[in-house]
C-alpha cells in the first residue's frame, strides 16, 4: 500500500491497525516557531472519542496523544511532528469469526482481494480508528490557522433522539450530512487546474470512512438552476475590500478562494456494522449469518465533526503555504 | 503555480493558455508496448469539440492532436507521451474589456488575487479549453483499458430542446448532472486510506471546470436511509466468482474496488458566461456592466462527456498500475 | 516509465525521442511576474548546440525554442511553461543495424530489458538530446535567479587540443571533470534530512548522461584529512554578516546553504560511442562487430556546461521557493 | 521542513530529535505477505550502535526497535510499517553552551538561518541519530530483497588502529571511504531520465550525514581514461544469459541496471566534532572557544555500514516495485 500520505507542502502520513500497539502519524511541513498548546490539542482529539454521545460505540480508548518530535518548549521546530496514540481497549477475540468471513458493506472482501492478507482485528487498518491520527494532525493545523485568524467549523444535520433510539433498538444504523464552513481564508488559495481548492477538499473529505458524496457552495442544488440565478455579484465593501453579495460559489471561483466563507457538505452513509444478524459469506463464498459482536456506533456524525474539521484545516494550511511560492 | 500534474504512476501534466500558441500535455507512465490507434484517439478528442450540438460555442477549433513522443510504429514506448493541440481560432480582441474587469462567477478576480498577473484572452489558463489536453491523455488511457476489457461511459441528464432554446434566447445558461460508469474493473484497485478509489475519482472529477459536487454509489441518497436498506449482500455467481446483489456502494468498499460497476455522478453548475449584460466590477471595485462578447456554450454537458470519461480512465489505469506493486 | 519529472515546487517534466518530431518540456512552478528575455534564453540554449567546438558531433540541429505557454508579454504568468524544440536533422537510416544489436556502454540492452521495446533511432529517449529540454528550463531558472543576484557558472578541466585530435583520429573518446560554482545563494536553502541541498544537487547532476561521480566542497579529497584540517572557521565580516574563512564545506553545512559559494565537481566518463569498429552482440547474444555510423561527439564537456548550469539553477530556484514555506 | 520522505512507491518518512522522546519512521509501500524476522531486524539495527568499535561514541542507546503497525504474525500486511526507537541515554545538559553558539562544520548556523529556531540538544534533528530510523526501514527492505536473492554489502577503507588512537589522543577525527556492492539485481531497474538508478542512489547516499562525494562503477577514475579503455564488452554466458566481461559501468547503463554487480563508493568527511577546544562564534558573531563536551565518534565508518546498506536496499526495492508497472 502507498498513499498513506496526504498533502503537498504540509504532509500527513498515518499508520496503525485498530488492534495493533498504536495508531500514529507524522505531520511534516509545519512552519517553525508556531505556538502549540498540547492541552488544547488533547481536548480537540477528545471530541472524537467514543462513549460521549448517544449512539456511539462503548469502546473506551483514552486516545492520549504522545508527541514524539517536532514540538519543543511549546513551539514547532519546523521538523516533522511524529506522534502516537496507544490502542489500549482492544478486544480482538470479538473478531475470530470475522477473520474467516466477508461482511457486507465492509472492506473485508476488497482488502483480501487487494493484499491477499489482512488483520481482521477491529477491521485492521480499514477501521475508522485510523482517523484519530488525522484529528491529531488537524488539531495542530487548526492551531496554526487560528494564528492567521482562519477558523473551521463543522456541524451535522440533526436527528430526533427518539428516532436514534428506535434505530438502535432495531440493531440498525443511520447516516446523515455534515456541513463545514471555513472562515477567514484570504483570496488566492488553491491551484487552478488539478489542484483546485475544492478538488483538494473533495479528496480529503472523501477519504474519510463512510463519506459517499461531497459538494461545495450550492453543489447539486445548482444543477437545476439557470446561470443568472446562481450569479454571485461582486460588491465593494465600505473598507474598500471586494466581496460577493451572495455565495452560491462557496467561497471558491476557478478553484481559487475568493475571500468569502468556504462552504461544503458531506454525505455520510449509514454505519455499515449492524447490531443484528447479518448475511455474509465465508472465504469460499458460501452464505453465513454473522451474529453481532464488537462495539460499534449507531451513528457517527457527532464523532466525525473533528475529523471533518481536521481534514479541512490540513488542506487550507497546505494551500496557505503553497501560496507563498507564487512570487519570487 | 504547481499541481498541473495529476496521478501517481500514470501522471498527466498539462499546459497552455486559451489564446496562446497551443494547449498540450505530457502523459508519463503508460506501460510499454500498448497498441494506440491515433485515428481513434482523434475521434475521441473530436467528441469534445464545439459546434456539434445545440447550445455549444461557435469557436471552431480543429483540435488536431499532434503526438510528439512516446508512441512509435503504433505502440507505446514506455516513454512520456508529449502532445500538443494548436490554438487556431482565437479572437483575442473580444477580451480587451474583460482584461480590466472581474466577471461574476469567473476566475478573473481570484486569479488576479493569486498571481497578480493574468492572461485575460479567452480566460487564459482558467479556460475550459485546458481540458482538451485531458481528453487526449484520457483517450490514450481508454485504449489501454480496453485491452484489459475495462470500459468507461458517461451520460448526461436529458434537457428538453425547447427549454434549451428558451434559455439561449434569454442569454442564460444551464447546468446538469453527468453520470459515469466504469465496467470491468477487477476487485482490488484503490488505496484504502487517503487514496481511496472514490477519493481519487472525486479529486479528478472536481478538477473539471464547473463541477460543484461528486457522489458515488447511492451518494447523498444514502444519507436518509438505514444501514439495513443500503446493504449490498454478497452472492456467489455460477462461475464461482463473488459479487453483490445490489450496488448501493457503487463498486467500491473501503476505498477499494469490489468488481461491481463503479458508478458516480457529477453536479455541473450552469455555464458562468451569460450572453446578456452582466454586472461586474473594474479593477478598483467600481460596478460596471459587461456586454456579452466572445463565443460561449449555453450548456456544456454533451461536450463534457469525454472529459469525464478521460478523467475516470486516467484514475482507473493509474490504480491498475499501482495494484501491481502490492506484491513482491 | 515515470520519473520524467524533477523538482518539488519548481518541477520540470521532459519528453521526446532523439529522432521523433520534437523534444520538449513543461516547467511548472515558476513564480508569476518574472521578466523572461526569450532571445537571451535562445542564446543560452545555443551554447549546448553541436558543431561549435572541436570534437563535437556534426549533427546540425537548429534547436530553436518554441515557448507555447506560461510567458506572455515578456513575463511569466505563474502557469506552466510548455515548450518544444523540433528535431530537424535526424538521419534515422544510420540506425538500422543498431536496432538489432546491443552496443557496449550504451543503454540499448538495459532499455530492452526494461521495456521490451525501444526506439533505436539516435538512441531514442536514451539520447543525450533529451538534455536540450533541461537547458531550456534551466535557462529560464537562471534568469529568475539573476533577479535574486544568484549566478551559476560551470567550467571544464582543460584538454590539450593536440590530445583531442589524436584521440579523434584513433576513433576514440574522452571524458573529464566539470566544476560548477553557485554564487549569491542566501543561507538557509536545503532540506536537512533526505532533501539535503547537496543530495538534491547530486541527484540532478547524476541524471546527466555520462556523469559517474559527484562531490561538493572538498569531496573525496576530505577522506584522508583530519577533522581539524577541513574545519571552516566562522568569521564576522565588516558589514556584520557571518561567513567562513575557508570553504571546505562547499557552501553547505548539514544539508543547508551557509551563504558561501556552493562548489561541486562532476566526473564525466568518456563518450561511449567510438568512431571505430566496436564489439557488440545481437539480440541473441552472438558477437557482432559494429562499424561506426551516425555523428557523435569525441568529447562533450564544452557542450555539457549549460546542462550542468541548468540543473544547478533548477535545484537552487526550487529550494529558494521551498524556503518561503518555512514560516507561517 | 518537508522532504523527510524518500522514495516513490516504497517511501520512508522519518521523524525525531536526538534528545526528544523517540526517533521513528513510517515505511509505506512494502508489499503484503513478506516474512519479516524481527530479531534479525534488531540485530541489523544493533550494527549501527555506538560503543562497539574503537573510536565510537560512548552514548549507550539500547536502540530497541518497537514496530507499531504493518507487520502481523511475522508477515507484512501491505499497510504502513510505523516504528519508534526511544531515546533513553540523552544528556541534554551537555548542550547548554552550544545552544548559544555556532560550531564550525556543524549545522547550528545554517539551521538557525533556515528556521529561526532549533533544538540544540544533541544536534536536535541535525544529529546523525536520525539515521537509526533509516536502518530500521532498510533492515526491512533487506529482508524483502533477500527473498528475491538480492544482497547488499558495504565495507570501509581500513585504518591503522595505531593511527586511530593517535587521532583520538589529539582530540581529532577521521573520515574515509565506504564501498557498497549490490548483487543479484536483475536487468531493467531504474528510470532512464531523472530517475537514473545511480542518480537515486546518489541522492540517497548523499543524504547520509558527512557524505561529501558519490561515484559508481569506475567513477572519477574514468575521467582520465579513453572510451576504449572503459568499454564493458558483452558476453553470452554458458547458461545463455548476457553479461559483461568487465564492469567499469558499475552495473548500470543509461541509468538502468544491466544485471552485473552494482558498485559505488562514498566519501565521508572527518567527523566534525573534535574533542579539543574549537573556535566558534556566538549568536552575535563574536569569537568564542568551545570546550569539548558530549560523547562523540572519532571515526564513524564502521557504524555507517548498516546505514549505507539500508539506503541502498531502500532504493533497490523501490525500483524493483516501480519496474512492475512497466507493462500493462
Q: Tens of pLDDT along B137-176?
A: 999 999 999 999 999 999 999 899 999 999 999 999 999 9
- B179 pLDDT band, cuts 50/70/90, is very high
Q: Are C266 and C214 in contact (CB under 8 A)?
A: yes
- Looking at residue C88, its pLDDT comes to 86
According to the model, what pLDDT value does residue A53 have?
Answer: 61
Tell whether the model's pLDDT for residue C159 goes beyond 70: yes
For residue C232, give how far its alpha carbon lies from the nearest alpha carbon of chain D (Å): 6
What is the average pLDDT across C7-36?
97
The 10s digit of each residue's pLDDT in A214-258 is 999 999 999 999 999 999 999 999 999 999 999 999 999 999 999
Using an 8 Å CB-CB cutoff, list chain A residues near B318: none
**pLDDT value, residue D32:** 97
Mutate which of A77, A81, A326, A328 to test chain C, going by most C C-beta atoms within 10 A? A328
Is residue A93 within 8 A of residue A295, CB to CB? The reply is: no
Model confidence at D58, in pLDDT bands (50, 70, 90)?
A: low
Q: What distance in Å separates the CA atoms of residue C147 and residue C318, rounded to the nearest whole number?
A: 15
The CA distance from B246 to D131, in Å, is 51
What's the CA gap between A28 and D279, in Å, rounded?
34
Q: 3-class DSSP state for residue C163? A: helix
B209-218, C56-65, C71-80, C159-168, range with the lowest pLDDT: C56-65
Which pLDDT does position A56 carry in this prediction?
65
Of A188, A195, A219, the CB nearest to B213: A219
Across the range B307-320, mean pLDDT stands at: 98
The chains in contact with chain C, meaning 3 or more Cβ pairs closer than 8 Å, are A, B, D
pLDDT for position D42? 97
What pLDDT digit, counting tens, does each position of A159-173 carry?
Answer: 999 999 999 999 999
- The average pLDDT across D206-230 equals 97
Q: What residue has cell string 540499448? A: C108
Average pLDDT, chain A: 93
First-residue to last-residue Cα distance in chain A:
37
Question: Inter-chain contact C328–A78, Cβ cutoff 8 Å?
Answer: no
Of the pLDDT bands very low, low, confident and very high (cuts 50, 70, 90), residue B291 is confident
pLDDT, tens only, A181-192: 999 999 999 999
Please tell me whether residue B112 adopts helix, strand or coil conformation. Answer: helix
Write out chain A residues lying below 8 Å of D68, CB-based. Answer: 15-16, 20-22, 24, 84
Q: Three cell numbers at D92?
A: 541534554
Is residue A1's pLDDT more than 60? no
Q: Which residues fall within 8 angstroms of residue A326, CB to CB, at 6 or more apart? A: A188, B1, B114, B115, C31, C32, C78
d(CA D20, CA D38): 25
- Start-to-end CA span in chain D (Å): 37
Output the pTM of the full model. Answer: 0.97
Give the closest-approach CA distance of A215 to chain C in angstroms. Answer: 27
* Interatomic CA distance for residues A254 and B298, integer angstroms: 18
Q: Do B117 and C17 touch (CB under 8 A)?
A: no
For residue A67, pLDDT over 90 is answered with yes
Q: Please indicate whether, in this complex, the C-beta atoms of A233 and B272 are within 8 angstroms of each other.
A: no
Min CA distance, C79 vs chain B (Å)?
6
Angle between helices B301-323 and B197-206 (to 10 degrees): 150
D→A contacts (Cβ < 8 Å), by residue, are: 1-5, 9-11, 13-17, 20-24, 26, 28-29, 32-33, 66-70, 72, 75, 77-82, 84, 114-119, 124-125
User: Do C302 and C157 meet the contact criterion of CB atoms below 8 Å apart?
Assistant: no
**If you write DSSP's letter for every residue of C214-278 in order, what string do you get?**
EEETTGGGGTTSBGGGS---EEE-TTS-EEES--TTTTEETTEE-SSPEEEEEEEPPPS--SS-E
Residues in chain A closer than 8 A to C34 (CB atoms): 328
pLDDT of residue B237: 93
Instruction: Name the closest residue on chain D to residue C206, using Cα atoms.
Output: D199
Cell numbers at A308, concatenated: 471533518
Q: Is the pLDDT of residue D284 over 80?
A: yes
What pLDDT does D52 receive? Answer: 62
- For range C266-272, the mean pLDDT: 96
Tell me what the mean pLDDT of segment B180-204 comes to.
98
Interface touch A78/C326, C-beta < 8 Å:
yes
**What percent of chain A clears pLDDT 70, i.e. is strictly above it?**
94
If one compares B22 and D99, the residue with the highest pLDDT of the two is B22
Determine whether the interchain pair A328/C29 forms a contact, defined as Cβ–Cβ distance below 8 Å: no
The answer to whether the CB of D66 falls within 8 A of the CB of A43 is: no
Instruction: Determine, for residues B124 and C29 on separate chains, whether the beta-carbon distance falls below 8 Å.
Output: no
Q: How far is A176 from chain B, CA to nearest CA, in Å?
A: 4
Cα–Cα dist D32/A117, whole Å: 7
Give the tens place of pLDDT for each residue, C186-197: 999 999 999 999
Please enumerate in sequence order all residues whose Cβ is within 8 A of that of C143, keeping only pairs 6 or more positions apart, or say none: C34, C35, C36, C37, C40, C41
Identify whether the C-beta of residue B65 lies closer than 8 Å to the C-beta of residue B41: yes
Tell if the CB–CB gap between A328 and C9 is shorter than 8 Å.
no
User: Could you give phi then psi for residue A38, rounded to 5 degrees?
Assistant: -70, -25
| Chain A nearest CA to D244, separation (Å) | 36
The mean predicted confidence, pLDDT, of chain B is: 93
pLDDT digits (tens, 9 = 90+) for B256-268: 999 999 999 999 9
Of all residues in chain C, the one with the smallest CA distance to A143 is C328
D325 chain-B contacts, CB cut-off 8 A = 9, 29, 31, 321-322, 324-325
What's the mean pLDDT in A143-151? 98
Query: C1 vs D191: CB contact, 8 Å cut-off?
Result: yes
Distance CA B285, CA C210 (A): 57
Helices (H), chain C: 38-46, 108-115, 131-147, 161-169, 197-206, 301-323
Q: What is the pLDDT of residue D195?
A: 98
Residues forming a β-bridge with A75: A35, A72
Whether the per-residue pLDDT at D280 is higher than 60: the answer is yes
Is the CB of C16 less than 8 angstroms away from the CB of B69? yes
**Which grid cell is A300?**
457517527
Could you tell me which chain C residue has the CA closest to the CA of A34? C328
Check D328 against B29: CB less than 8 A apart.
Answer: no
Residues 6+ apart with CB under 8 A from C19: C87, C90, C92, C95, C119, C121, C122, C124
Residue B136 to residue B310: CA distance in whole angstroms: 8
> In this predicted structure, which of B232-236, C47-51, D287-291 has the lowest mean pLDDT?
C47-51
Strand partners, C278: C290
Interface pTM, i.e. ipTM: 0.96
Inter-chain contact A77–D14, Cβ cutoff 8 Å?
Answer: no
Q: What is the mean pLDDT of residues A24-40?
A: 98
Rounded mean pLDDT, D126-147: 97
Share of chain B above pLDDT 90, in %: 84
Question: Looking at residue B60, what is its pLDDT?
Answer: 67
If pLDDT is split at 50, 70 and 90, which confidence band does C135 have? very high
**What pLDDT, on a 0 to 100 scale, did the predictor assign at position D225?**
97
Residue B72 has pLDDT above 70, yes or no: yes
Does C327 contact A32 at a Cβ distance shorter than 8 Å? yes
CB pair distance less than 8 Å for B255 and A107: yes
All residues of chain D having their beta carbon less than 8 Å from the beta carbon of residue B322 are 9, 325
Q: Count CA within 13 A, CB hemisphere, residue B8.
A: 30
The neighbouring-strand residues paired with D242 are D236
- Residue of B124, B128, B165, B62 lying closest to B296 (CA atoms): B128
How far out from the chain centre does Cα A49 lie? 14
Contact B69, B82 (CB under 8 A): yes
Amino acid at each position: 500500500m502507498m498513499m498513506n500520505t496526504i498533502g503537498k507542502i504540509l504532509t500527513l502520513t498515518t499508520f496503525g491497525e485498530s488492534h495493533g500497539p498504536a495508531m500514529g502519524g507524522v505531520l511534516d511541513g509545519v512552519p517553525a516557531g508556531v505556538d502549540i498548546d498540547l492541552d488544547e490539542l488533547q481536548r480537540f482529539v477528545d471530541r472524537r472519542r467514543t462513549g460521549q454521545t448517544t449512539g456511539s460505540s462503548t469502546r473506551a480508548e483514552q486516545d492520549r496523544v504522545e508527541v514524539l518530535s517536532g514540538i519543543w518548549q511549546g513551539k514547532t521546530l519546523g521538523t516533522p511532528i511524529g506522534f502516537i496514540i496507544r490502542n489500549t481497549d482492544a478486544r480482538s477475540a470479538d473478531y475470530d469469526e470475522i477473520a474467516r468471513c466477508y461482511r457486507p458493506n465492509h472492506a473485508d472482501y476488497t482488502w483480501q482481494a487487494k493484499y491477499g492478507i489482512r488483520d481482521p482485528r477491529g477491521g485492521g487498518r480499514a477501521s475508522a480508528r485510523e482517523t484519530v491520527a488525522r484529528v491529531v494532525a488537524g488539531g495542530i493545523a487548526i492551531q496554526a490557522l487560528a494564528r492567521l485568524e482562519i477558523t473551521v467549523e463543522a456541524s451535522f444535520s440533526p436527528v430526533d433522539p427518539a428516532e436514534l433510539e428506535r434505530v438502535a433498538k432495531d440493531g440498525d444504523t443511520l447516516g446523515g450530512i455534515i456541513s463545514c464552513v471555513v472562515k477567514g481564508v484570504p483570496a488566492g488559495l488553491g491551484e487552478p487546474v488539478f489542484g483546485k481548492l475544492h478538488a483538494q477538499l473533495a479528496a480529503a473529505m472523501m477519504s474519510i470512512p463512510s463519506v459517499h458524496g461531497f459538494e461545495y457552495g450550492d453543489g447539486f442544488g445548482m444543477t437545476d438552476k439557470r446561470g443568472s440565478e446562481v450569479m454571485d455579484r461582486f460588491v465593494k465593501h465600505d473598507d474598500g475590500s471586494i466581496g460577493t453579495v451572495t455565495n452560491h460559489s462557496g467561497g471558491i471561483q476557478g478553484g481559487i478562494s475568493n475571500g468569502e466563507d468556504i462552504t461544503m457538505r458531506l454525505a455520510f452513509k449509514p454505519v455499515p456494522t449492524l447490531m443484528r444478524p447479518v448475511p455474509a459469506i465465508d472465504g469460499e463464498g458460501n452464505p453465513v449469518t454473522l451474529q453481532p459482536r464488537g462495539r460499534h456506533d449507531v451513528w457517527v456524525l457527532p464523532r466525525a465533526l473533528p475529523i471533518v474539521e481536521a481534514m479541512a484545516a490540513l488542506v487550507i494550511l497546505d494551500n496557505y503555504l503553497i501560496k507563498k511560492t507564487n512570487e519570487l
